[in-house]
Structure 1
Amino acid sequence: MPDNHRTPIQTIQKRSLHDQAVEQIRDLIIEGHLEPGHRIDEAALTTELGISRTPFREALRTLAAEGLIEIRPSRGSRVRKLSTEEVHGLLELQAHLESLAGRLACERATDAEIAGLLDLHDRMIVLYEARDRLPYYKLNQEFHTRLAEAAGNSVLAETQRSLQARLKRIRFIGNRRPDFWSAAVHEHAEMAEALRARDGSRLAETMERHLKNTWDRVRNVISSEDR
Structure 2
Amino acid sequence: MNTFDRYQGIVRKTLHHEIVVDALRELILEGELEPRSRINEVALCERFGISRTPLREAIKLLAAEGLLELMPNRGARVVALSPTEISDILQVIGALEGAAGELSCARITDAELAAIETTNEAMVAAWQAGDYPGYFSRNREIHEAIMAAAGNAILQATYRSLSGRVQRARFSAQKTEQQWARAIDDHNLMILLLRRRDGAALAQLMRDHIKSKWPVISAAYSESKPTKPAGQKQKQLSEE
Same-fold status (TM-score > 0.5):
yes
The 5 Å alignment of 1:113-132 reads 113-132=112-131
> Residues of 2 paired with 1:101 and 1:193: CA distance?
16
2:11 paired with 1:13: no
2:175 paired with 1:177: yes
- Say if 1:132 and 1:28 are closer, same or farther in 2 by CA, change over 3 A: farther
> Residues of 2 paired with 1:136 and 1:54: CA distance?
36
> Residues of 1 paired with 2:28 and 2:153: CA distance?
28
Deviates more, 1:100-109 or 1:52-61: 52-61
Where does residue 165 of structure 1 map in the other structure?
164
The 5 Å alignment of 1:130-169 reads 130-169=129-168
| Structure 2 portions without partners, runs of 5+ | 226-240
- Tell me the alpha carbon deviations over residues 17-44 of structure 1, each in whole angstroms, 9 at most, x when there is no partner: 4454444433332343322122111112
The 5 Å alignment of 1:30-179 reads 30-174=29-173, 176-177=174-175, 179=177
> Residues of 1 paired with 2:61 and 2:132: CA distance?
24
> Residues of 2 paired with 1:61 and 1:216: CA distance?
31
> Residues of 2 paired with 1:19 and 1:136: CA distance?
27
Deviates more, 1:196-205 or 1:47-56: 47-56
Q: Percent identity, aligned pairs only?
A: 41
Equivalent pair of 1:173/1:218 in contact (CA under 8 Å): no
Equivalent pair of 1:145/1:160 in contact (CA under 8 Å): no
- Say if 1:20 and 1:177 are closer, same or farther in 2 by CA, change over 3 A: farther
Structure 1 residue ranges (4+ consecutive) displaced by more than 6 angstroms after TM superposition: none
1:82 partner SS: coil
> Residues of 2 paired with 1:86 and 1:62: CA distance?
21
2:24 paired with 1:25: yes
Q: Letter of the aligned partner of 1:28 in structure 2?
A: L
| Structure 1 portions without partners, runs of 5+ | 1-6
Number of positions where the alignment pairs a residue of Structure 1 with one of Structure 2: 219
> Residues of 2 paired with 1:87 and 1:139: CA distance?
23
- Say if 1:116 and 1:31 are closer, same or farther in 2 by CA, change over 3 A: closer
> Residues of 1 paired with 2:23 and 2:185: CA distance?
29
1:81 partner SS: coil
Deviates more, 1:189-198 or 1:23-32: 23-32
Q: Letter of the aligned partner of 1:103 in structure 2?
A: E
Q: TM-score, normalised by structure 1?
A: 0.81
Equivalent pair of 2:29/2:167 in contact (CA under 8 Å): yes
Deviation (angstroms), 1:10: 4.4
2:124 partner SS: helix
Q: Letter of the aligned partner of 2:37 in structure 1?
A: H
Q: Letter of the aligned partner of 1:13 in structure 2?
A: Q
Higher relative contact order (CA 8 A, sep 6+): 2
Deviates more, 1:67-76 or 1:131-140: 131-140
Deviates more, 1:95-104 or 1:105-114: 105-114
> Residues of 1 paired with 2:48 and 2:135: CA distance?
24
Deviation (angstroms), 1:63: 2.5
CA RMSD of aligned residues (A): 2.8
Equivalent pair of 2:140/2:171 in contact (CA under 8 Å): no
> Residues of 2 paired with 1:18 and 1:181: CA distance?
38
